[in-house]
């Protein structure tokens, strides 16, 4: 099995080059493109399952609701994907900072846990169904000094887009477009 830090020289080179580009003109926003735009298409496919298509990467996957809410439980739930996406982003940003600072590690594991009030998505006057709190427990295998790893943790936590979105949610808007069924179109 490859060590987590086997790619550090290449990752450090890529990370340093990105930082130089961003620092070259600090007033200029980050460039638009695949590194700063995320777009997914979600299509219901029945049984409380959805097909997700990712525009940038081209990946497709299924999300599924648990059986206790009427789903088929045939794939991770939307909230599992949401939480794992944020923590997966955190793992990557941790690696960026470790490479940048030259702090090697052999293993990284993050366990994230949250709770929410499920009534909020079923009853209008119920408390919000948003995550109440997310707790992330990290386990890093490394010979580096603990204070250096704590600095990587601090920088990754402060700079991770996934964690920042959980910590300070962005405005979300919807736009509904209605397409009439064939029976109504014929009438």
Query: What is the CATH number for 144?
Result: 3.30.300.20
Query: In this structure, is residue 112 part of a structural domain?
Result: yes
Query: In this structure, is residue 42 part of a structural domain?
Result: no
Query: In this structure, is residue 57 part of a structural domain?
Result: no
Describe the chain by its helix, strand, coil percentages, rounded to 5: 40, 20, 40
Q: What is the dihedral of CA 156, 162, 167, 169, to 10 degrees?
A: 150
- Residues spanned by the domain of 158: 4-24+77-169
For 124-170, the pLDDT digits (tens) are 888 888 888 999 999 999 999 999 999 999 999 999 999 999 999 89
pTM of this structure: 0.82
Query: In this structure, is residue 70 part of a structural domain?
Result: no
Query: In this structure, is residue 180 part of a structural domain?
Result: no
Counted domains in the chain: 1
For 21-77, the pLDDT digits (tens) are 878 887 877 666 556 788 999 999 999 999 999 998 999 999 999 998 889 999 999
Query: In this structure, is residue 176 part of a structural domain?
Result: no
Query: In this structure, is residue 59 part of a structural domain?
Result: no
SS (H, E, C) 120-134: HHCCCCCCCCCCCEE
Q: What is the dihedral of CA 170, 83, 99, 21, to 10 degrees?
A: -30
CB atoms within 10 A of CB 85: 14
């Amino acid at each position: 099995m490859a060590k987590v830090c086997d790619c550090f020289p290449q990752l450090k080179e890529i990370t340093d080059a990105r930082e130089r580009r961003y620092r070259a003109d600090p007033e200029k926003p980050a460039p638009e493109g695949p590194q700063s735009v995320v777009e997914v298409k979600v299509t219901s496919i029945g049984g409380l399952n959805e097909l997700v298509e990712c525009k940038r990467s081209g990946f497709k996957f299924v999300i599924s609701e648990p059986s206790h809410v009427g789903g088929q439980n045939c794939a991770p739930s939307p909230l599992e994907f949401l939480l794992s996406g944020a923590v997966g982003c955190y793992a990557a940003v941790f690696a960026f900072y470790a490479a940048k600072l030259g702090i090697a590690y052999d293993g990284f594991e993050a366990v994230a846990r949250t709770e929410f009030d499920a009534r909020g998505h079923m009853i209008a006057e119920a408390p919000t169904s948003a995550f109440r709190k997310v707790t992330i427990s990290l386990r890093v295998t490394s010979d580096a000094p603990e204070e250096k790893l704590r600095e990587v943790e601090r920088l990754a936590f402060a700079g991770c887009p996934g964690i920042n979105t959980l910590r300070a949610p962005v405005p979300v808007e919807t736009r509904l477009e209605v397409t009439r069924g064939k029976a109504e179109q014929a009438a």
